[in-house]
A and B are shown apart, each in its own frame.
Chain A
Amino acid sequence: MRLNRSLAGRVRKRSLSQVTAQPVPSLGSVEDVQEALASQKYIADTSLSTAIFLALRLPKPLLLEGEAGVGKTEIAKVLAAILQTDLIRLQCYEGLDVSHAVYEWNYPRQMLAIRAAEASEESRDAAMAEIFSEDYLIKRPLLQAIEHRGKAPVLLIDEIDRADEEFEAFLLELLSDFQVTVPELGTMTAEHPPIVIITSNRTRELHDALKRRCLYHWVDYPTVDKEYRIVTSKVPEINDRLALQISHFVHDLRQVDLYKLPGVAETLDWAAALMALSQRELSSEVASATLGAILKHQEDVQTVRKNKLDELVSAAASND
């Protein structure tokens, strides 16, 4: 019975990869990486492409830091799509522990199995051994990544700064040798070490020991030109004029003293909002009405509305 189940799982996975059967790009150079990213509508500059290229080559975990909404998580998703492999995601939070990150035993099933063994008068020892077998193991993301068969998966450890120091320390161990020990089952080692992408919003400083084990890249706000290309590729129905105005507006807005500067995600939201309102170019009235798409703090909205908005709109309009 156990054999059947694991077979079924394997077959399903294989059929999944057959659906997306296309030649995997070789990614032999930085330019290849950049092109592959662009083909997935991810506009990356050379430094980011280089970091990804090296992370794949060395191989080393890639630590991406940057403000919220600059496309850190997206990199992992796009990378999994390019390599046509599975994306395994671990969202971090305070108090994240082994039972949620690595594995947990399925207690209800174990208890039922004990009852069933009693009823059928099976050998008790056999039943005890049975309930700590792999069938009763709930695999959480990190174990999934290590146990993963076939192509190396992309393991995304998202917002590591939200987890606490204890988890960070645990991660150090995992990242160095990609193995996990389940006391009842033994040590499991990854057949193909996963491609690890770690993101951080810098809400706290990460420990130097973790940084030391990773390649580091700071994902910055894009330049006007890059943002324009992102907008036009992600919101294809937008007209060039509006896309350019939006890019200039947001770029200038980021020079203002604000509590939270808008990220690329906000720019795209705003572009979509303006499209929904059938706008063909930026005007002060519409910008003021839709400011909530890019600014999420009341103080920021007030600052901009009060004395910056007209200036920003006219500056953006003059940049055609």
Chain B
Amino acid sequence: MTSAAPARDGNVKEPGQQLLRRSLRFGRLLRANGIKVTPSQVMDFVNATDYVGIHNRRVFKDAAEACLVTKGEDREMFSILFDAYWRSKRPANDQDQQIFKPSDDSSMEPIEGLDDAETEDGDGQSEFGEGMEGLAVDDDADAGDLADADDSDLESVLTYSGSEALRTKDFSEFTAEELEQARILMKRLKWEIGMRKSRRKVATPKGRFIDARRTMRKSLQTAGVPLRISERKVKMKPRSLVVICDISGSMDRYSRLLLQFIHTIENDMARVEAFVFGTRLTRITRVLKKRPIDEAITRVSKEVQDWAGGTRIGESIQSFNQDWARRVLRNGAVVLIISDGWDRGDPQLLGNEMMRLQRSCYRLIWLNPLLGSPRYQPLTRGMQAALPFIDDFLPVHNLESLELLAEHLSNIGEYRPVRRQAPLEFVQQRMTSV
């Protein structure tokens, strides 16, 4: 860096340094848009440019993606951001056209707001062009500021405008455009599910258990006297999450958004099992791994022909209890049911199955979009039957409530809530009296 210092003082920036600055800022832009990029990844990317060069836009982009993207689902967002940020120089003369292939030129789509900044600049040189070609290195003092303006504009495009209004708007009133914005926002939300103690132990400087194997090995250095005791602690693992979604009629939209929301958690190690039901319970965990959520749900909806039959929550939970509970409710799983509680089936069946489900999971959370309305009372027979066996009854009608849910999930404690252990007959009597 000693060679770079005088260059900065002298207000003359070397192309390499320009590229470094641009790259760092690009890393920041990615982070701001929910793609987790570490500084060392950005440095890798900068180093990579030494090898791949910047002449071929496609290779440059591939290199950037290889260095900076670690999750498959981030690729789309990365591509948008890349194209917006690293715009190629507009073909000012023939030479440029030779450098950039026509297909590359057509692929770049400057995002609105950036164009103005570019024209203000006046020379139409993009940073992409300048760093590498060495043509017309932009060494104006205000070049940096300009680039900053670029970034913030770009961010604001990808951030939804009037976020506060959108946060409290009910999903059912969303336009298609707003839905899309909400999805992008949800991807950015960082959240994690509560941890559980596993039975596995890991080495740690300070723990509750003695690591006999390591202690013994270390003791050899001190003539067989265990002067330094190695320790182990209990390994913590994220709880698994089971989502059971009602996809009938009006619930469809909420369920899709929730699944989308839940999907982001899967990347953080937690195991997520997803089921949907209308009249029949279907597991979509495997489908979701391969396909986008919308496609998965549409496929399931196609299979279920008899929407008119109405929602059968009781039967769906029963088939979950019988066929899946043992397989997916291991190790203190948290269960999320999302439904408005309009059950066409037998409320007593629903009550019984909810009781069983509550006993076999760590936490049973019911999400009801109707709960968002202040006048809502859970008076439907289905909701009434299920209510005694729900640990948390939460709304899920807007982005704010999703944020609350995320917070709630990450705060799930180490103790199970106290459960009703009343005999079956007693509960049934209580329910019939209701």
Contact = CB atoms under 8 A, between A and B. Distances in A.
A105 B213 contact: yes
Contacts of B326: 202-203
Contacts of A164: 198-200
A99 B200 contact: no
Contact of B198 (A95, A124, A128, A205): A95
A164 B318 CA distance: 27
Given A202-B327, A203-B326, A204-B327, A95 B199 contact: yes
B356 A299 contact: yes
Interface string B312-334: 00000010011000111011000
A252 interface: no
A177 interface: no
Contact of A299 (B200, B220, B223, B424): B424
B272 to A, nearest CB: 13
B52 interface: no
A100 to B, nearest CB: 11
A114 B330 contact: no
A205 B327 contact: yes
B132 interface: no
B268 to A, nearest CB: 15
Nearest to A128: B220
B201 interface: yes
B201 A95 contact: yes
A114 B224 CA distance: 6
B98 to A, nearest CB: 48
B216 A166 contact: no
A105 B211 CA distance: 12
A225 B278 CA distance: 39
A258 interface: yes
B4 interface: no
Interface in A99-144: 99, 104-105, 107, 110-111, 114-115, 117-118, 124, 127-128
Interface in B226-246: none
Contact of A97 (B200, B220, B321, B352): B200
B431 to A, nearest CB: 15
B59 interface: no
A204 B330 contact: yes
B12 interface: no
Contact of B200 (A95, A111, A118, A298): A95
B212 interface: yes
Interface string B284-326: 0000000000000000000000000000000000100110001
A94 B198 contact: yes
Interface string A156-175: 00000000101000000000
A237 interface: no
B216 A110 contact: yes
Contacts of A218: none
B197 to A, nearest CB: 10
Interface string B200-215: 1100000000001100
Contacts of A257: 318, 322
A298 B424 contact: yes
B216 A105 contact: yes
A157 to B, nearest CB: 18
A169 to B, nearest CB: 12
Contacts of A258: 322
Contacts of B330: 203-204
B216 A93 contact: no
B200 to A, nearest CB: 4
A166 B200 contact: yes
A111 B198 contact: no
Contacts of A117: 224
Contacts of B224: 111, 114-115, 117-118, 124, 127-128
Contacts of B201: 95, 97
Nearest to B321: A259
A111 B318 CA distance: 57
A268 to B, nearest CB: 22
Contact of A203 (B198, B223, B327, B424): B327
Contacts of B199: 93-95, 164
Nearest to A118: B224
Contacts of A259: 321-322, 356
A107 B327 contact: no
Contacts of B321: 259
Contacts of A302: 424
A107 B318 contact: no
A302 B224 CA distance: 64
B287 to A, nearest CB: 14
A113 B198 CA distance: 35
A257 B318 CA distance: 9
Given A111-B216, A128-B224, A257-B318, 20 more contacts: A94-B200, A94-B331, A95-B198, A95-B199, A97-B200, A97-B201, A105-B212, A105-B213, A105-B216, A107-B213, A117-B224, A124-B224, A164-B200, A202-B327, A204-B327, A258-B322, A259-B321, A259-B322, A299-B356, A302-B424
Give the 9 A-B CB pairs with smallest separation, nearest first: A95-B199, A114-B224, A94-B199, A95-B200, A107-B212, A128-B220, A107-B216, A203-B326, A203-B327
